[in-house]
Every structure is written in structure tokens, then in C-alpha cells.
Amino acid sequence: MVNMQVIMDYLLALGRNNNREWYHANKEAYKQANAEFEGLLQALILEIGKFDGSIIHNVPKDLTFKLVRDTRFSHDKSPYNPAFRAHIASAGKLPVPVGYYLMIKPGDQSFLGGGLFADMFKNATAMMRDYIVQNGAEWEEVIHAPEFEKYFTVKGTALKNVPAGYDKEHPQAEYLKFKSWYLEYPIRDEELQDAEAFLAKAADLFRIMKPFNDYLNKALEGFQMPTR
């Protein structure tokens, strides 16, 4: 079974020694922790695969994000983000199609997520708004399903007003202000101690999240990632 302690110990140590010298001197510890994280992802892929076959072909190492931070526009110049992160979706870790997001970060900062986190893709935002306009009743059904409401509230970057071209009186006007639509479920450090219990919980929450992801993916069908 996955050794969660190896993952947490490494991330805690990196958090305390957030510099390139320490990182390069402790490459072995990184490799061990990363291998455990990939093992966790493999187990998670198999669990999610029981209710969403579209993600089963994924290879864990293709779903993870680097620890290196982009510090160009940040006051915090520490070079690393002491967190293991992954996005499990039908097309891998790309933001669209949306899928199941996992971040493990000590200090009770871990979370399970879903939906569209990126708000810089104007086309994706427009496609999503247009779909909500046409399919408002289905949207309400998804976000007000009792099991869903028990764990999730839709979050996202939002404008102050309904954007031009959309009806201010639309029943879903509040959600038309959004530029991204995502879910976050916080995970405390103690919940990560038992890998098996955490896996069961994560898989169950991702199952509850699936209708939300499905709705977004129908809205985003045909979306093309911008080319550089």
C-alpha cells in the first residue's frame, strides 16, 4: 500500500528548506516521495475507473505537475511549491476536458477538486456561459442534488455584473458572472495518514462530483486549447 508518511515528510522538509541547494541535495528523497505519489494516483485511477472509464488509460507520471514555481509575478520568491498535484481527466492533465484534481500539501492545505479552474481561456468561459443559458434547469439539478450539496459549493473567479450580451434577469444570472467554475473539498493532514481510507473517501467524493464534470465537459465539447 502507498506510504503516505514518505510523501508528507518530504513535502514538510521541502517547505522548511525551500531552496535549490536543499532540493538538489535531496533528489533521492524526492524520487521516493514522487514514486509513492504516483502509486497513489495509480490506485485512484483504478477506483475512479469504476464509475468513469474515460480516465482509465492514463499513466500517473503524465498527470502530475512540477514542484517548481513561476515566481516572475509573485512576491514570494521561494522556488518550489511543497505540494504534489495531479489532474486526472480523459485527455490527461490538460485543463479541458475537466476531471479530478488532487493536491497534497501539508498544513491542512490539501484538497480534492473538479471542474474548470482556468479562467484565462475566453472561449471556454463563453462556451460555458452559453451552455448554462440554454441548459439552466439541468445546471440547477446538478448543483442542488442533495449528495452534491452536502460536500460542494461551486466556486470560481467572477465578474461583479452579468457580462454584456447576457440577460441580467436570467435564472442562472449569478453563474453567468463566473469565468471559471470549480469545486474544492478540503482534506486535513490527519485524513492522509491512512492511505486506504483516504483513497476510499477521495473516490467517493470524485463520484459525487462526476455529474458536475460531465455537465462542464458537454459545455466545453469541441474546445481547442490555444496554441502558443
Per-residue pLDDT tens digits for 168-200: 999 999 999 999 999 999 999 999 999 999 999
Fold of 4-219: BirA Bifunctional Protein; domain 2 (3.30.930)
The per-residue pLDDT for 103 is 98
The per-residue pLDDT for 98 is 98
The per-residue pLDDT for 71 is 82
For the chain, the average pLDDT equals: 97
Tell me which residue of 187, 197, 37, 33 sits closest to 108, measured CA to CA. 187
For 19-58, b/e burial (b = at least 16 CB within 10 A) is: eeeebeebeebbebbbbbbbbbbbbbbebbbeebebbeeb
Whether the per-residue pLDDT at 72 is higher than 90: the answer is no
Whether the per-residue pLDDT at 211 is higher than 80: the answer is yes
Whether the per-residue pLDDT at 70 is higher than 80: the answer is yes
State the pLDDT confidence band at 226, using cuts at 50, 70 and 90.
confident
**Taking the domains of the chain in order of start, what are their residue ranges?**
4-219
Nine cell digits for residue 109: 492545505
β-bridge partners, 116:
181
The per-residue pLDDT for 76 is 86
Over residues 35-61, the mean pLDDT reads 98
The pTM of this model reads 0.95
The per-residue pLDDT for 116 is 98
Alpha-carbon span 150 to 74, nearest angstrom: 35
The per-residue pLDDT for 39 is 98
* Strands 100-104 and 84-88, bridge-based pairing: antiparallel
Mind listing the pLDDT tens digit for each residue in 134-149? 999 999 999 999 999 9
What angle do helix axes 195-219 and 122-134 make, rounded to 10 degrees?
A: 80
CA-to-CA separations, 203 to 52, 107, 212, 223, in angstroms, rounded: 11, 22, 15, 27
Do the beta carbons of residue 31 and residue 43 sit within 8 Å?
no
